[in-house]
Amino acid sequence: MEIRQLKAQFETQLSALYDPEEARRFFELLLEAYESKKRIDLVLTPDLTTMQPERWQAAFEALRRFVPIQYIIGATYFYDLHLEVTPATLIPRPETEELVAWILHDLPNTTGTILDIGTGSGCIPIAIAKNCPQASVTAIDIAADALAVAQRNAQRNAVNVHFIQENALDTDAMEVRFKAQFFDCSVSNPP
C-alpha cells in the first residue's frame, strides 16, 4: 500500500474527529515510528509503500476510538528524553516538565537525595537523574507493570534510579521501608 494513500485517509477521515493539523501530526508520528521516515521522505519519494498496512489500519482505528497517539506508538518525549509509555503508565504532561524544571532550578547540580512517589513511566526521576547525575534518586509505585516500564526507561536513558514497589498510602509500610532515611526533595505529580 502506498503511504500517500494512508496520508490521504488520515487527513480526510480523521479531520472530522480531530483538528486537521493534529490529524496530520498523527500521520507524521506514525510515519516515523512505523517506517522510520520523515515528511520530507514522502515528498522526495512520493511512491513510498508500507509492508505493514495492517499496523497502520490498527493505528487508524485506535485513533478513531480516541486512543492517545503515545499509547499507539508506545512512546513519547519528556524533557528531551525518549520514554516508553503503555496503558500501565500515564502519559507525561507538559506541566510535569515544568515541575522538573522547578526542581532542577531549586536544586542545581544536587548531590542530595530525591524521592518520587507514584512514578509511573519514571519521567520525573529519570529527568532529574539525567540532569543531576550526582543525585541519589529513588522512585516508588504500587504497580509492578508501571515499575517495569520505568526501569526500561531508566536503562534506555542511561540513568541510575532506585525503583521500589510500595503503596505510598500505607504509612506503616512506608515508615518501615524509609525508617531513618531523609530525602532532600520529595516529589509527586498524581493525575
pLDDT, mean over the chain? 90
Three cell numbers written together for 18: 480531530
Supply angle C-alpha 159, 163, 166, rounded to 5. 160
Confidence of residue 175 (pLDDT cuts 50, 70, 90): confident
pLDDT at 6 over 90: no
When pLDDT is cut at 50, 70 and 90, the band that residue 78 belongs to is: very high
> Which residue(s) pair with 139 in the sheet?
116, 163
What is d(CA 16, CA 63) in angstroms, rounded to the nearest whole number?
12
Of 136, 29, 26, 131, give the one whose Cα is nearest residue 80.
131
Report pLDDT digits (tens) over 114-166.
999 999 999 999 999 999 988 999 999 999 999 999 999 999 999 999 999 98
What is the C-alpha separation between 59 and 43, in angstroms, rounded? Answer: 22
pLDDT digits (tens, 9 = 90+) for 82-103: 999 999 999 999 899 999 999 9
- Give the pairing type, strands 75-78 and 81-84: antiparallel
**Residue 112: DSSP 8-state:** S
pTM: 0.85
Instruction: Write down the pLDDT at residue 127.
Output: 96
Binned at pLDDT 50, 70 and 90, residue 169 comes out as: confident
Buried b (16+ CB within 10 A) or exposed e, 35-67: bebeeeebeeeeebebeeeeebeebbeebeeee
Q: Does the pLDDT value for residue 110 go beyond 80?
A: no
- pLDDT, residue 141, reads 95
10-23 pLDDT per residue, tens = 888 888 899 888 98
| pLDDT per position as a tens digit, 49-70 | 888 889 999 999 999 999 999 9
CB 153 within 8 A of CB 126: yes
